[in-house]
Chains A and B, each alone.
Chain A
Amino acid sequence: TSTFMRVRLEFSGGLELLFNKVKHHEPVLEGRDSIPFGELLVWIQKNLLQERPELFMSGDSVRPGILVLINETDWEIMGGHKYVVQDGDSLVFIPTLHGG
């Protein structure tokens, strides 16, 4: 069987500078229909992040100060880094530091 999943990623508020200045990404992940948040982050770092990983990640989670919205909902309500990302989910990463 060929399962795959598609997620919609958005990097805003200046974060896009680390991703080749591209805000919206819709990667397709082959061979699975869900992925734990932590694993997805690792995938993003390997495949999409162009530079300065320490400005996006900290250890195996996002850098503190980056707000994550899962389907336009605060990720803390969705279980935070324990959330398992599903096919069709949208994730938005918003840096809050240097808010001005």
Chain B
Amino acid sequence: MSDPLCSVHFNEVILKRFKNMMMRLKETESANAPPAPVTVDGRPPRRNKREMDKVLLAFSGGMCSRALLHLVNECVGNAKRKKIFFDVSILYIDESAIHDSDDGEAILAQITSITQQHEFPLVVAKLEDVYQSDSARSSRDQLRALLRGATTLSASEDVLQHTRQLLMHQVAVGLGRDRVLLGTSANRIAASIITSTARGRGGNAVPVDQSFSSSQGHFPTTFFRPMKDFLLKEIALYSRVNHLECIPIPTLGTMRGPKASMDLLTETFVERLQSEFPHTVHTLIKSAEKLQGATIADDQGACPICFTPFTHAERRKAQLASRVPAAVDACSSNSSSCGSSCGSGDNASTGGCCGGNGCGGKSSPVPDASLASLRSVACYGCQIMLKEVSSPAPSAPPAMAQRAHRIMSKADMRREIGDYILEEAEDR
């Protein structure tokens, strides 16, 4: 390990490392950027460094995102020399609907007072907005039912994570910002590598979750993790040296024991190893960097719940998935009124509307679809999660149901015209 540094040098080192990450970000083409025109000598022109790239910074009030905010400000703010040009908005997700405390307003006030110190506009989105309902109360209730439907803490954490991600997508698209900055630390990534593998997501989610940037082919939002090489210890020291206040916000795992969920268990495991062998986190990350995940060419190539690219086997399975046969006209609402005829052949979903043909017709928006009904087109990891979701299952956020619907429609279409296809084109 290197020599001890005084706090001034420590700050400089951290800032320099971070600036390199931001420059890398600057040079990464947007997922949906039009192809650069080719110049006379055949090479694409260099990107204009002074162009203001629009980013959305995900801020939770916690230590890592607080440090991220401070560091971004150092790069972008009043710096006169070597300024990096970004147009930053801050996103805070209000999750008070799923926590019993009344601290929602007080926490929001603290969040606002922190973000006001840096002149970046703050956007607040409520987690229940994924339900896009006209009634705020209905959205809140549906979100609560969603979280309550998870019977284990591990499943709740998964569900929460996917819901958050969906909301970030939706907000980013709504604001026309196709880049989201996350404060994910090296330790977090190291633990999630093990957790994801244990939860059946090793093949597809791990390469995505550990990457500096992850964009899903034609999906508009790219997630960046500029803190991925920073240890929690470094972030904590940076935070202390710069007197950064953070807000410890209660989350699902707060005050639970170290074995309450898979994630808490692996976190404890990694931290214990790291305290005795300080290269643990680094080694885990370097190993995972070698993994190559699938890329998504079309919107049938990703799990409708967690958005990670399907592996070959999962894609095959999704292609075979069928919606409910036309006979089920009675399908008009979610949950128990739907009989057991719902669902694909060998994968009868446990109660819950499939959102299939009988309901509202092909061109109308997908009605309430239960989370369980998405199982036939979900990735392996999400299928494991769904096993830990109670029956009758809560209704899925509409965007997830819509994505599932598209996959199932394409599977139908493939079957209908299958006889007419002379040769099966292998989808990439």
Residues on A lying within 8 angstroms of B by beta carbon are: 13-14, 17, 52, 54-55, 58, 64-65, 67, 69, 72, 74, 77, 92, 94, 96-100
Q: A69-B240, A100-B63 are in contact. Are A64 and B272 (CB under 8 A)?
A: yes
Give 19 pairs: A residue, B residue, CB < 8 Å, sorted on A: A13-B63, A13-B236, A14-B248, A55-B255, A64-B268, A64-B271, A64-B272, A64-B275, A65-B268, A65-B275, A67-B233, A74-B4, A94-B236, A97-B232, A99-B64, A99-B183, A99-B187, A100-B60, A100-B64
> Across the two chains, which residue of chain A brings its CB closest to B257?
A54
- Nearest 9 interchain pairs by C-beta: A100-B62, A14-B248, A96-B232, A65-B271, A64-B271, A64-B275, A99-B64, A99-B63, A100-B60
Report the minimal beta-carbon distance from B328 to chain A, rounded to whole angstroms: 45
Report the minimal beta-carbon distance from A14 to chain B, rounded to whole angstroms: 3
Q: Is B287 engaged at the interface, CB distance under 8 Å to the other chain?
A: no
Q: A64-B268, A96-B235 are in contact. Are A54 and B61 (CB under 8 A)?
A: no
B254 engages A96 (CB within 8 Å): no
* Mask of B237-269 contacts with A, CB within 8 angstroms, 1/0: 100100000101101011101100000000110
Cα separation A42 to B30 with both chains bound (whole Å): 54
B237 engages A74 (CB within 8 Å): yes
Q: A97-B232, A97-B267 are in contact. Are A67 and B237 (CB under 8 A)?
A: yes
Residues of A within 8 A of B236 (CB): 13, 67, 94, 96, 99
Residues on B lying within 8 angstroms of A by beta carbon are: 4, 7, 60-66, 183, 185, 187-188, 232-233, 235-237, 240, 246, 248-249, 251, 253-255, 257-258, 267-268, 271-272, 274-275
Report the minimal beta-carbon distance from B157 to chain A, rounded to whole angstroms: 12
B271 engages A97 (CB within 8 Å): yes
Cα separation A100 to B240 with both chains bound (whole Å): 16
Residues of B within 8 A of A52 (CB): 255
Residues of A within 8 A of B267 (CB): 65, 97
A96 engages B255 (CB within 8 Å): no
Residues of B within 8 A of A55 (CB): 255
Q: Give the secondary structure class of B's interface.
A: helix
Cα separation A74 to B240 with both chains bound (whole Å): 11
A98 engages B254 (CB within 8 Å): yes
A99 engages B272 (CB within 8 Å): no
Residues of A within 8 A of B254 (CB): 98
Residues of A within 8 A of B61 (CB): 100
> Across the two chains, which residue of chain B brings its CB closest to A62?
B275
Cα separation A55 to B237 with both chains bound (whole Å): 20
> Across the two chains, which residue of chain B brings its CB closest to A58?
B272
Residues of A within 8 A of B187 (CB): 96, 99
Residues of B within 8 A of A64 (CB): 268, 271-272, 274-275
Which among A14, A69, A94, A98 has the greatest number of chain B C-beta atoms within 10 A?
A98
A98 engages B253 (CB within 8 Å): yes
A99 engages B232 (CB within 8 Å): yes
Residues of B within 8 A of A96 (CB): 63, 187, 232-233, 235-236
> Across the two chains, which residue of chain A brings its CB closest to B275?
A64
Residues of B within 8 A of A92 (CB): 240
> Across the two chains, which residue of chain B brings its CB closest to A16?
B248
Residues of A within 8 A of B7 (CB): 72
B233 engages A98 (CB within 8 Å): no
B246 engages A100 (CB within 8 Å): yes
> Across the two chains, which residue of chain A brings its CB closest to B60?
A100
Q: A65-B232, A94-B236 are in contact. Are A99 and B257 (CB under 8 A)?
A: no
Cα separation A69 to B10 with both chains bound (whole Å): 15
Residues of B within 8 A of A77 (CB): 4
B235 engages A100 (CB within 8 Å): no
Cα separation A94 to B65 with both chains bound (whole Å): 16
Cα separation A98 to B249 with both chains bound (whole Å): 10
Which among A65, A67, A69, A92 has the greatest number of chain B C-beta atoms within 10 A?
A65
B248 engages A13 (CB within 8 Å): yes
> Across the two chains, which residue of chain A brings its CB closest to B273?
A64
